[in-house]
Structure 1
Amino acid sequence: MFSKACEYGIKACVFIAQESVAGKRVNLKQISKSINSPEAYTAKILQQLVRSNVIASVKGKMGGFEMDPDHLNEVKLVHIIKAIDGDGLYHSCILGLVECDAKKPCALHSRVFEIRNDLRKMLEQTSMFNLIDDIENGLAFLKH
């Protein structure tokens, strides 16, 4: 459903959020190892997230990546997805057709309309706080 970069971005944000709540900043190596992603690829993803103000980067000896623990409820999944993949998830044709809209729909257009609306709601309502809370309460996991 999401690109590989987006999957890594979501996992990286969850890891960064968890560590930020514990008062820690994390570096590229820690993030890459935690989400099982190549460092160079992870670095590019983190740059996109920093540029979009989803995460913060602090330079220096005690630097690293962090998220403001007081604002984890405001950082929604939609922010991560838009930073990495844009908003094509909502608009692009599920069959990959160039022209597909309500006036000229593909064979699946009307069938996925409600699903996309439900997905949009979930992405706009689910915050980093929700995700780390589920993990901490044993309702979800980040690693196998």
Structure 2
Amino acid sequence: MFSKSCNYAIKASIFIAQNSLEEKRVGFVAIAKEIESPEAFTAKILQILVRAGIIESVKGVNGGFSIPKNKIATTYLVAIVDAIDGDSVFHGCGLGLAQCSETQPCPVHDKFKVIREALAHMLKTTNLEELALGIKSGETFLKH
């Protein structure tokens, strides 16, 4: 449902949030390793997230990427998805038809609409803090 870039961006943001909760910055090489993404690709994704104001970057010896602690609980997945993939996940046809609409629905239109609405709700109500805490507690995982 999301692009590969968006999947990596979400994983990277969760990993950065997890470290930020412990007041640590993390470098892009460590992020790439954790999310199992090529370093150059990870660097480009992180640049987009910095420009979107989702994460912060500090250069230098003690540098790296972080999210201000007070912002982790108010950063929702929808912001990450919007920064990387735009709002296409909220629109468009489930079969990829250009002319699908309420008045000219494709065969899966009504069923896909329900899924899209549920996905939108999840993205708008799920924040980085809850996801990072789930990993910290061992309830969830970024990789196996």
Normalising by structure 2, report the TM-score: 0.95
Unaligned runs of at least 5 residues, structure 1: none
Larger mean Cα displacement after TM superposition, 133-142 or 81-90: 133-142
CA RMSD of aligned residues (A): 1.0
Deviation at 1:61, TM superposition (A): 2.4
How far does the alpha carbon of each residue in 1:44-80 deviate from its partner, in whole angstroms, 9 at most, with x for none? Answer: 1111111111111112222111101121111011111
CA distance in 1 between counterparts of 2:9 and 2:26 reads 14
Provide the C-alpha distance between the structure 1 equivalents of 2:124 and 2:12, rounded to a whole number of angstroms. 18
Aligned partner of 1:143: which letter? K
The runs of at least 4 aligned residues of structure 1 exceeding 4 Å deviation read none
Question: What SS does structure 2 have at the residue aligned with 1:65?
Answer: strand
Alpha-carbon deviations, 1:1-37, whole Å to 9, x = none? 2111111111101111111111111111111111111
SS for the counterpart of 2:94 is: coil
Q: 1: distance between equivalents of 2:44 and 2:104?
A: 37
Q: CA deviation at 1:137?
A: 2.2
Letter of the 1:25 partner, please give it. R
What corresponds to 1:10 in structure 2? 10
Residues 30-49 of structure 1: pairs in structure 2 closer than 5 A: 30-49=30-49
1:29-108 to 2 correspondence within 5 Å? 29-108=29-108
Length, aligned pairs only:
144
Structure 2: tracts of 5 or more residues without a match: none
> What amino acid does structure 1 have at the position aligned with 2:113?
F
What is the TM-score with the length of structure 1 in the denominator? Answer: 0.95
Hey, what does 1:132 align to over in structure 2?
A: 132
Mapped to 2, the partners of 1:58 and 1:113 lie a distance apart of 41
Shift of 1:124: 0.3
CA distance in 2, matches of 1:105, 1:66: 44
